[in-house]
Structure 1
Amino acid sequence: MFEFLTYKVQKHTLKSKKTEPSQKKRRKKMSEQTPISDPYAYLNMVKNPDGSITRLPSNRPCTAATPDPSPQNPAVSKDLPVNHSKSTWLRLYVPTSAVTDGVVSSQKLPVVVYYHGGGFVMCSVDFLCFHEFCSEMARDLNAIVVSPSYRLAPEHRLPAAYEDGTEALEWIKKSDDEWIKSHADLSNVFLMGTSAGGNLAYNVGLRSADSVSDLSPLQIRGLILHHPFFGAKERCGSEIRLENDQICPPVVTDVMWDLSLPVGVDRDHEYSNPTVGDGSENLEKIGRLGWKVMVIGGELDPMVDWQRDVAKLMKKKRVEVVEQFNGDDGHGAEIMDPSKRKALFVSIGSFVSSSSAP
């Protein structure tokens, strides 16, 4: 859903700080917002009589990879196929400083596997907002960033995206790509995602905890869940409080879950609600493996209470969790507002440094 709001947010960030309303005023303004009457129209989709959807053409900006190591590019990037039969691919980012003037540094860099958002039903790796986010993250973290695509619902309902996310790890493990071989430290890998991508990173992490030996030499050190997409059949307090949110309204996330969950299950399925049934057994495996988890959210995100509940569950399962909830942020704030990224990447960089192998 991010592409419908990017330009509005960028315009807002051009205002001086003096004209920005306080958090209290923002909350009041949000409570007065008009409810979304047609969630499919909001998503630029049409629901067909047979239950399928038609995605309408839009002007959402996409961009090509940036292989040129010029100073204007925070990172060099290129697109590579993962699975031809599924039409999945990935975009690989390396900090421009690591390849400037053709000099290959002997220093191996940590790897961040980043899954994009979009409620499992929309968006792509090559959206401009995700491309810029990953490019800046590669530069600021001095890390390799791998951003895999995954099949979208409802054409491919969950767990298809989880399978594709896991397959991307296999691709990295087996890759003979020169950038991977020259720059990537496969012993320091972190799974990260925004919104649905955060949900994906969480579930790929759970699956990977069961197959650590199969992924060798790739070693996961932690998960970074950025505004992760969780929910349940019953509304949480923040969903009720922020029901008219214009960025990620609950009436829209309802549609996303209806389109992406397996047919015949409700929102209390483990894919959407990790707290059901006292949580997953694999969470305890993550704790034993010593993986750390960073949960990042915003107080103006309708899903923030679910994000806190999942963090609480992980702590209960003896997983080391770092929480960062920003009082003035809505869903996916740093994706839509570039001015917020620097502080985010400083926090993530500290987390990666503290979680990396000696």
Structure 2
Amino acid sequence: MSTENASSNLTVSTLDSLRAALNPDGTLDRDRFNIPVTSASLNPTSPASPVLSKDVPINPSHNTWARIFLPTSALSCSEEKLPVVVYYHGGGFILYSAASTMFHEFCVSLARELSAVVVSVEYRLAPEHRLPMAYDDAVEALHWVKTARDEWLAGHADLSTCYLMGTSAGGNLAFFAGLRASASHDELDSLKIRGLILHHPFFGGIQRTPSELKLLNDQMLALAKGDFMWELSLPLGATRDHVYCNPIVDGGSKISEGVDKMRSLGWRLLVAGCDGDPLFDRQVEFAQMMQEKGVSVVRVFTEGGHHGIEVREPDKSKPLLQTLKTFMSTTVTS
């Protein structure tokens, strides 16, 4: 990694909207972002999107819940159980929701194209709830899914075939939730995790990488914006070399025990990224480290694009969805 100091070349404008939304008490005024949201629906909007969705509470005291997506075809095939994808949305741990339109539509695509029950988790956001609270919520959601309290899960979900998936900060979440879940897999009982899918995972670090320096003023995820998101979401006093941000720090020694457990359980890992993302180098290094630690890793790194492209531009998602199909079918049969 390069140690070059990029701070003098950063554009302050990328942070204006975030800094302006900080309240005097340190909370974030998310209403200023005018993020489009979509309501869950038991009536698919079109024949091309034959997927039902509904919201179900997980922990009312934390205001966490799940949006469940079910292909309508499952209703006429009650004997066939579908794999479960537990999905964590992105947003740098500080923005967005399971109800945000772009994540809602992406989960519709996942449910439709993968023929899966998708459980999109609403977790607590920073800075009001700093890490590891989002990780706590992510794991609590897995235990909630395990109980199959919801009729869609009880009637249509194959709990023995579960994948944890996330985009951006959600990819980070999926990984650290997976670390915790591997350590307590006996407690999850009937919920059998087969693999983790990290889609453009949000990692960082103090030293700058070449891709960060090349794209430091990136329109989608400028370096200063990413730094600020980490400043708001990491535990107070932590630097960007905290393991939550930089899992490969010290050769990944801080996650070795969990990774060893993942490997022993036979979990597979898919890491997807593109070289138009400032985080590209970090994702490549992370995937390489996991492979060196003996985990079965599928690396899907493409040219061009931008951070989270398949979520923000649905017409670009088909190759990724096909890759996920192949990954899931190979994982089940291997």
Decide which of 304, 308, 325 is 1:332's aligned counterpart: 308
> What are the equivalent positions in structure 2 for 1:1-358 lying under 5 Å apart?
36-43=11-18, 45-68=20-43, 71-99=47-75, 103-279=76-252, 280=255, 281-356=257-332
Shift of 1:237: 1.0
- Find the counterpart in structure 2 of residue 12 from structure 1: none
Which amino acid in 1 is paired with 2:22? K
Cα deviation, residue 285, structure 1: 1.1
How far residue 356 of structure 1 moved from its aligned partner, in angstroms, is: 1.7
CA drift of 1:85 comes to 0.3
> How far is 1:324 from its partner?
0.5
> Per the alignment, do residues 251 and 209 of structure 1 end up closer, same or farther by CA in structure 2, a change over 3 Å counting?
same
Distance 1:266 1:35, change over 3 A: closer
Are residues 225 and 108 of structure 1, via their aligned partners in 2, closer, same or farther at CA, if it must alter by over 3 Å?
A: same
Match of 1:47, SS?
A: coil
Contact 1:111 1:144 survives alignment (8 Å): yes
Secondary structure of the corresponding residue to residue 266 of structure 1 = coil
Specify whether residues 58 and 273 from structure 1 end up closer, same or farther in structure 2 by C-alpha distance, changes over 3 A only.
Answer: closer
Per-residue deviation, residues 41-85 of structure 1 (Å, max 9, x unmatched)? 344743345544333434321111121256253310100000010
Output the CA distance in 1 between the equivalents of 2:200 and 2:245: 14
8 Å Cα contact 2:197-2:269 kept in structure 1: yes
Are the equivalent residues in 1 in contact too, given 2:10–2:223 (CA < 8 A)?
A: no
Q: State the distance in 2 between where 1:126 and 1:104 align.
A: 28
For 2:12, the aligned partner's letter is S
Partner Cα distance (1:266, 1:225) in 2: 23
Residue 21 of structure 1 is matched in structure 2 by none
* Distance of 2:214 and 2:15 partners within structure 1: 22
Q: 1:125 to 1:44 in 2, by over 3 A?
A: farther
Question: Structure 1's 288 and 117: CA in aligned 2 closer, same or farther, altered over 3 A?
Answer: same
For normalisation by structure 2, the TM-score amounts to 0.92
> Taking structure 1 as reference, are residues 95 and 313 closer, same or farther at Cα in structure 2, changes over 3 Å only?
same
Among all aligned residue pairs of Structure 1 and Structure 2, give the percentage whose two residues are the same amino acid.
49
Superposed CA RMSD in Å reads 1.6
Amino acid in structure 1 at the alignment position of 2:32? P
| CA-to-aligned-CA distance 1:201-231 (integer Å, 9 cap, x gap) | 0000001110111001000000000000001
Residue aligned with 2:32, SS? coil
Q: d(CA) in 1 for partners of 2:121 and 2:34?
A: 23
CA apart distance, 1:234: 1.1
Distance 1:316 1:106, change over 3 A: same
What are structure 1's unaligned runs of at least 5 residues?
Answer: 1-33
Q: 1-side partners of 2:18 and 2:11: how far apart?
A: 11
The whole-number CA distance in structure 2 between the counterparts of 1:285 and 1:302 is: 30
Aligned pairs, number: 322
Distance 1:125 1:50 in 2: 26
Secondary structure of the 1:243 match is coil
Q: Output one character per residue of 1:133-164: Cα deviation in whole Å (capped at 9) or x when no partner.
A: 00011010001100011000010000000000
1:78-137 CA distances to partner (integer Å, 9 max, x unpaired)? 0000001000001001112222xxx24311111100100000001000111111100011
Q: Is the 8 A contact 2:15 2:224 kept in 1?
A: no
Instruction: Quote the Cα distance in structure 2 between the aligned partners of 1:171 and 1:248.
Output: 33
CA distance in 1, matches of 2:281, 2:13: 25
How far apart, CA to CA, are the structure 2 residues paired with 1:171 and 1:218?
A: 10
